Amino acid sequence: MKKKLALALATVLACGLLFTGCSGGSGRVVNVCSWGEYIDTDLITQFEEETGITVNYQTADSNEILYSQLKNGGANYDVIVPSDYMIARLIEEDMLAELNYDNIPNYSKIDDAYKGLSFDPENKYTVPYSWGTLGIIYNTTMVDEPITSWNAMFDTAYADNVLMINNSRDALGIALLSLGYSVNTTDEAQIREAYEKLAKAKADGVYQGWVMDEVFQKMEQGNAAIAAYYAGDYLTMLESNPDLAYVVPEEGSNWFVDAMCVLKDAEHKEEAEEWINFICGTEASLANMDYIWYASPNAEALEQYPAYYEETYGEPLDQELYEIMAAPQDVLDRCEVYENLPADTLTLYNDLWVELGVGN
């Protein structure tokens, strides 16, 4: 019996060692969690060489998955890069730490346009990482005329040729925009109307599928005519299919900002701020922008990018592409940033979303 107990204890101990093994050692560490394909990985090596801090870089699939990881308490991230509405929610639930901007001198290079946004009005918790727009990607050989309106996403003329985005916020947001409502509305009648529009289009067989990153393969290989997705990803798709075009519809769209934040219970706050400072520097921003195709909020980097591109690739950057990546002010004026919705609106979103999936 004693032996049994000893063995059991030994096993538990061994398990414990196994799982804590990676956080041991005396070196300085920072745990970063971001999205997939969302950083130029050379930057990580460069940062490690410059500072001697080891970066544990992990990725999450979506804001919602990141949120559930944080809620479950299973993750020990220091720096995360959520989007606007999720930041608002995390601040509301008191999960983020206030930053010491003295340790982040490069913050001064961030354009004022990305400071004081609705999710962090007093600039206490965030340093913007990148921004972009949601829009319609379409295959010019598969549509009769250029797409200009979100209504194309509900048009039976393109039956079985449309890819709707597979998350409740964006899909219902698109329907709200096509009806001329705000993406941040909390009016139940408006949200239900948007749901009806989606449900009708679904019943009419407009949607070939509800997709997230599967959209790359489908659009690149010409399996669908129209899809709603993000500007930066359009530029990636364009590399393999030159027939694709991108538009921010006339009704306006979502303008999203992803920003770096430090968690309240972060163990490596100092290292986290060093990392944030490094990433929002001009040089790193340029390299990153070139890799991920999403615009940087660093004013210098954004301005220098066309020159950087020409120097790197030996050819000038197409102005049109540059404006898709970094939407000009007149486009942004049409767009809205997602705000965090109150709990009962979120529940309504989820209920309608499930109904939409259930109903066939």
Partner 1 sequence: MKNKRSLFAVPYIVWMAFLVVIPIIIMVVYAFTTVPAGATDDSLTFTLSNFTSMGNYTVVFTRSFKLALIATLVCLLIGYPISYMIAKEGPRFQRIAMVLIMLPMWINFLLRTYSWMSILENNGLLNQFFRAIGLIDLYNSIAIHFAADPAAYQPITYFQMMGTSGAVVLGMVYNYLPFMILPIYSVIVKLDHSLVEAAHDLGANSIVVFRKVIFPLSLPGVLSGITMVFVPSVSTFAISRLLGGGNQMLLGDLIELQFTGGAYNPHLGAAIAMVMMVIVVVCMWVMNHFGEGEEQAVML
Binding residues for partner 1 (CB under 8 A): 1, 3-4, 7-8, 11-12, 15, 61-62, 64-65, 67-68, 71, 160, 164, 166-169, 202, 207-211, 214, 217-218, 221-224, 343, 346-347, 349-351, 353-355, 357-360
Min separation Cβ 305 and partner 1, Å: 33
- Report d(CA 78, CA 53) in Å as an integer: 13
Lookup result for tokens 């197409």: 318
Taking alpha carbons only, the member of 62, 85, 2 closest to residue 259 is: 85
| Residue 61 or 320 having the CB closest to partner 1 | 61
Min separation Cβ 245 and partner 1, Å: 18
| Residue 148 or 221 having the CB closest to partner 1 | 221
| Residue 7 or 307 having the CB closest to partner 1 | 7
Taking alpha carbons only, the member of 36, 81, 223 closest to residue 138 is: 223
Beta bridge partners of 135: 229
Question: What is the torsion angle, in degrees rounded to the nearest 10, for the CA atoms of residue 319, residue 322, residue 328 and residue 334?
Answer: 120
CB atoms within 10 A of CB 353: 18
| Residue 287 or 348 having the CB closest to partner 1 | 348
Which phi and psi angles does 132 have, rounded to 5°? -175, -175
Min separation Cβ 347 and partner 1, Å: 5
| Residue 155 or 270 having the CB closest to partner 1 | 155
Min separation Cβ 141 and partner 1, Å: 12
Which phi and psi angles does 258 have, rounded to 5°? -100, 135
Helices (H) and strands (E) in the chain, counts: 14, 9
Min separation Cβ 3 and partner 1, Å: 7
Min separation Cβ 133 and partner 1, Å: 20
- Report d(CA 343, CA 208) in Å as an integer: 31
Lookup result for tokens 């299919």: 241
Question: What is the torsion angle, in degrees rounded to the nearest 10, for the CA atoms of residue 145, residue 149, residue 152 and residue 155?
Answer: -110
Min separation Cβ 114 and partner 1, Å: 24
| Residue 176 or 280 having the CB closest to partner 1 | 176
| Residue 34 or 106 having the CB closest to partner 1 | 34
